Structures are given as C-alpha cells and as structure tokens.
Amino acid sequence: MSSPEIPDIVIRRLPVYLRTLRRMQDLGIESVSSEDLGAHIGVTAAQIRRDFSYFGRFGKQGKGYDVQTLADGIARVLKLDRCWDVALIGFGQLGRAIAHYRGFESNSFRIAAIFARNPDHIGDQVDGVVVMDEATMHEVIPEMGIRIGIIAVPADSSQSVADRLVDSGVQAILNYAPAIIRVPPHVRVREIDPTSALQSLSFYLDTEGQPPDSVFDTSMLPGMTEPRR
C-alpha cells in the first residue's frame, strides 16, 4: 500500500501540515490557500503544492483548500485513519516517561504492550497495560499483530532489541536509544536523539568570546590537514 516513489522528506513534512490544519479547524477556519498555509508553516506555497502533487489533487487551483478535506486526506495518506498498536521496549526513566506521554495523537497510536528487562518492573501497570518480560516479545508482538516498536533501552542493547522487533514482524521503529540501529530495508527507523541534535547545532555557533578548553589544539580549525600521532 506504500508508495515508494514519494520522497521520505515529503512524508516527514505531512505531519506538520496536518497539525497546522487541525489547529485551523479548531479555530473554525474552513478554507486556506497554499500561500497562507505555507506562511503558517514556514515553507513556500510552491513547496506545498509540489508536496501535495504526489497525492493527486487535494484542492482546486485558485480556490484554496478545504481545511477539513485536506486534513482528512493527509491523515488518510499517513494511515492515521485507524489505531495502531505500539510496543514499547524499555521501562527505565525514559521508558516510563514515554509510557505516560499523552502527546501521541491519541486516536492513531496506542501503547498496547510494554516490555522490561528488570524483574522489579515486570507486572507494573500503565493505564491498564501490564509491563511484560522482554523475553516474551517474540511471542506477544506477533500475537497482537503489532507493527510499530519504540526502543527506550540503553545504547548497548538497542541493536539486539531492534533485531528481535524485526523478527517479531515490526515494520517501523522509533528509536530513543543513542545509537544507530541497523534494520532490513523493509523496516523504517526514526531517531529521537537530542544529544546529537545539540552537538550538530554547536557547529553553527560563533566562537568569538568562547575560548576552547586548553586540552584542545585549535590551530588547525576548521579542517585538519594531518592527524596528530
């Protein structure tokens, strides 16, 4: 059912469009031009029209989009028009925070199974979902028909958890572990990695008035021509 010819970057933008349109609906806005929608989101009108062109027509040229039709259409393209059961692996501090997080679009995703390694946590409950032993993943996940997994375990066990998720039939993984996991081509991964995000931001900062630590020799900044031995 997926359309491999649609660039992933377009797919990544659709949730942002959807969120903006749902907010417009809440405000009673019924119709919007690609210019106005773009202005709200911070992309050009041309970009929006190009993105939507992958999905046939969402509205009539020059007439603007019907907000609800467009929102429902995007939700349908993203397959948010049903409820997906999600398996959460890891029930440490991060896992617990995710289990209690209410920000996932409540109608589309439901944490239906939670797995922990620590015996102290097995048997705990979150909203009626009982935390199970990680060792039962490969039985429970296929039985429940779960296709989405959230990894919230330490970096060094993230790959083995990913392998077991894939073996259990999971096709999409949201990875909170600070590690890159390798999966077969039919499985999609998104990373939630604030440390890397922060580290890739400092690259862009002015260093004026911010002396580096003396441990480092910065005479060769920004590129080094020879490795130090």
The Cα 46–Cα 77 span in angstroms is 20
Answer yes or no whether residue 141 interacts with its own copies by CB under 8 A.
no
Pick out residues in 89-108 that bind its own copies (CB under 8 A): 97-98, 101, 103-105, 107-108
User: Per the structure block, which two tokens stand in for 228?
Assistant: 């130090």
Phi, psi at residue 223, to the nearest 5°?
A: -115, 140
Answer yes or no whether residue 215 interacts with its own copies by CB under 8 A.
yes
Q: Which is nearer to its own copies, 56 or 119 (CB)?
A: 56
Answer yes or no whether residue 206 interacts with its own copies by CB under 8 A.
yes
Which residue, chain included where needed, has tokens 């002396």?
211
Answer yes or no whether residue 130 interacts with its own copies by CB under 8 A.
no
- Give the closest residue to 74 by CA, choosing from 43, 39, 108, 98: 108
Taking CB under 8 A as the binding criterion, the range among 118-126, 130-138, 202-210 that sits at the site for its own copies is 202-210
CB of 128 to its own copies, least distance (A): 21
- Give the closest residue to 171 by CA, choosing from 156, 157, 189: 189
Answer yes or no whether residue 192 interacts with its own copies by CB under 8 A.
yes
Which residue, chain included where needed, has tokens 């330490």?
154
Answer yes or no whether residue 2 interacts with its own copies by CB under 8 A.
yes
Phi, psi at residue 210, to the nearest 5°?
A: -125, 80
Pick out residues in 19-78 that bind its own copies (CB under 8 A): 19-20, 23, 41-42, 54-60, 65-66, 69-70, 72-73, 75-78
The Cα 78–Cα 71 span in angstroms is 11
Q: Which is nearer to its own copies, 130 or 180 (CB)?
A: 180
Answer yes or no whether residue 216 interacts with its own copies by CB under 8 A.
yes
